[in-house]
Structure 1
C-alpha cells in the first residue's frame, strides 16, 4: 500500500486515498457521464426546433446537423465543477472569486456563441464580448505578468502594467478564436480540447497550490470526452461556436489561474507548447489572409485551416481527426517535458489520453454500425 502511495506521489497525486484525488476523479467522471448522456436529448430537441447547420460549400455535412452540442458540454462542465467544489471547497477567497470569474466569462461566451450559431452575430460584436470576458479576468487578478516572460527586459511602473493587460487580452481572445477556427472537421476540437485539458491538469497537479485549476481542468476534460462519443465522424451533433469558444476561453483562463505562474523560466512556454496546434492554425490562417489583402481576416472564412489541408491529403475525416490528435498530443508531451515532469508521468498521461480517445472513437464507430443496420431494416 505504501508503495502505491509513493508511486501516486510521483504522478502528482499527493494522497491517493484523500478527498482531493477523489474530488478530481469524480469531477471528471461526472462531466463525462452527463455530457455523454445529455447529448442525445439535446440533439432530439435541436432537430425539433431547427437548431442546425445547413449544408453549404464550406461544411462537410450533407444534411442539417444539430449545432447545440455546446449546451450539453457546458452543462456537463458546470455541474461537474459544482460536484467537485462540494467535495473539495476552495478556502482561499481570492481563488474562489477567480474561479467564479472564469465560470461567468465562460457562461457569457456560451450564450453569445449559441446566439451566433442560431441567428448570426457580427464579428465585431463577438470580439467585443470576448474582450469583456478577458477584462473580467483582469479585474479579478488573472493576468500574464510581462516581467515574468524570459529574455525580455524587466520594466517598471505603468508600462509593464499596460503591456501585461495587453498580453492577457491577446492571450484570452486569441486562444478563444483559435479553438473556434480549428472547429471544421468532426472530432478535431473535442479531441484537442481533451488532450490540452488533460495535459494541463497533469502539469498543474505537480503543484500543491493548483487545486482549483485541477478541478476546472478535470471538468473540461470530462466534458470534452463525453462529447466526442457523439462527434467522431460521422457526427450526430456539433458543438457550434458555443462549445468551441467555451473550450478556448476556459483553457486560456485556467492557464492564468495556475500554469502560467509555475515559474519565471517557463511562464509562457508550457501552455504555448501544449496549445500550439490551435495557435499555429490561427496564425497561419490570419497571416495568409492578410497577405491576400483581406482586411478582416477573422470575418472571411476559407479552406486554408490545418484541418482542411490535412483533410485534402487524407481524404477522410476520421484520419484527419486522428492525425491532428497525434499532433496535439506531441505538443502536449513537449510541454510536459519543458516543465520538467518525469518521463513515467508523461508516458502514463499519453497512454491514458490515447486509450480514452480510442475508447470513445470505437464506441462511436460501433454505434454507427448499429444505426446503419437499423436503417437498413427499416427500409426493408
Structure 2
C-alpha cells in the first residue's frame, strides 16, 4: 500500500485515497457512464421527433443522422459537476462565481447551438450570443491580460484594458467556432475534445489551487468519452453545434480560469499549444477562403478542413479520427512539457488517454459488427 501511494505521489497525486482525488474519479465516471447510457435513449427520441442533421457540404453523412448528441454531453457534464460539488464543495467565493459564469455561458451556447441545429440561425445572431457569453466571463474576472503575453511591450492601463477585452472575446469566440468547424468526420471532435480535456485535467491537477478547473475538466472529459462510444465511425449520433459549442467554449473558458498558468507570461502560450489543432485548422481554412475571394469565410462550408484533407488521403473515417487524435495528443504532451509537468506524469497521461480511446473505439466497432450480423441473419429467421 505504501509503494502504491508513493507511485501516486510520483505521478502528482498527493493522496491516492483522499477526498480530492476520489471526487475527480467519481466526477469523470459519472459523466462518462451517464452520457454512455443516456445517448441511446436520446437517440430514439431524436429519431421520433426529427432532430436530425441533413447531408450538406460539410458533413459526410448521406442520410439524416440524429444530431442531439450535444444535449447528452451537456447533461452528463452538468450532472457530474453537481455530483462533484456535493462531494467536495469549492468554498472560495470568487472561484464559485467564475465557475458559475462558465456553466451559464456554456448553457447559453448549448441552447443556441441546439436551436441552430434544428431550425437554423443567422451567422450574426450566433456571433452575438457568442460575444455575450465571452463578455459574461470578462465581467466575472476571466480575461486575457495583454501585458502578460511574453515578448510584447507593456502598455498603459488605458490601452491594455480594452485590448485585453478584445483578445478575450477573440479567444472565446474564435475557439468556440474552431471546434465547431472541426466537426465533419465521425469521432474527430469527440476524440480531440477528450484528449484536450484530459491533458488540461492532468496539468491542472499538479497545482493545489486549480480545484475548480479540475472539476470542470473531469466532467467534460468523461462526457466526451461516453459520447465517443456512439460517435466513432459508423456514427449513430452526432453532437451538432450544441456539443461543439460546449467543448470549444468550456475549454477556452477553463484556460482563463488558470488551468495552465505557471507564470503570467505563459498564460496564453500553453493553451495555444494544447489547442493547436482546431486553431490551425480554422486559420488555414479562413485564409484559404479569403484568398479565393469569399467575403464571409465562416459562412461558406467546404471540404478544405484538415480532417477533410486527411480523409481524402486515408479514405477511412476511422483512420482519419485516429490520426487527428494522435496529433492532438502530441500537441497536448508538448503543452504539458512547456507547463513544466514531469515526464512520468506526461507519459502516464498519454498512456491513459490512448487506452481510453482504444476502449471506446473497440466497443463501437464490436457493437457495429454485432448489429451487422443481426441484420444479415434477420431474413433467415423470418
TM-score interval, smaller chain: over 0.9
| Counterpart in the other structure of 1:356 | 356
Q: What displacement does 1:57 show? A: 4.6
State the alpha-carbon separation in 2 of the partners of residues 54 and 252 from structure 1. 29
Matched, 1:181 2:181: yes
| Counterpart in the other structure of 1:105 | 105
State the alpha-carbon separation in 1 of the partners of residues 77 and 58 from structure 2. 30
| Counterpart in the other structure of 2:273 | 273
Q: 1:112 to 1:161 in 2, by over 3 A?
A: same
Alignment of 1:60-71 (within 5 A): 60-71=60-71
RMSD: 1.0
Residues 303-351 of structure 1, C-alpha deviations (whole Å, 9 max, x = no match): 1000000000000100000010000011001101111111111111000
| Counterpart in the other structure of 1:39 | 39
Query: Which stretches in structure 1 are left out of the alignment for 5+ residues?
Result: none
| Counterpart in the other structure of 1:114 | 114
Alpha-carbon contact 1:144-1:260 (below 8 Å) kept: no
| Counterpart in the other structure of 1:159 | 159
Alpha-carbon contact 2:73-2:223 (below 8 Å) kept: yes
Q: What displacement does 1:229 show? A: 0.2
State the alpha-carbon separation in 1 of the partners of residues 260 and 104 from structure 2. 21
Residues 250-302 of structure 1, C-alpha deviations (whole Å, 9 max, x = no match): 00001111225331242212111100000000000011111111111111111
Alpha-carbon contact 1:47-1:66 (below 8 Å) kept: yes
State the alpha-carbon separation in 1 of the partners of residues 270 and 6 from structure 2. 26
How high is the TM-score relative to the length of structure 1?
A: 0.98
State the alpha-carbon separation in 2 of the partners of residues 56 and 144 from structure 1. 36
Alpha-carbon contact 2:57-2:301 (below 8 Å) kept: no
Q: What displacement does 1:364 show? A: 0.0
| Counterpart in the other structure of 1:4 | 4
State the secondary structure of the residue aligned to 2:264: coil
Number of paired residues?
A: 380
Alpha-carbon contact 1:123-1:299 (below 8 Å) kept: yes
Runs of 4+ residues deviating >3 angstroms: none
State the alpha-carbon separation in 2 of the partners of residues 10 and 131 from structure 1. 42
Query: Which stretches in structure 2 are left out of the alignment for 5+ residues?
Result: none
State the alpha-carbon separation in 1 of the partners of residues 14 and 149 from structure 2. 29
Q: What displacement does 1:58 show? A: 3.9
State the alpha-carbon separation in 1 of the partners of residues 47 and 26 from structure 2. 32
- My pick for the range that moved more, 148-157 or 306-315, is 148-157
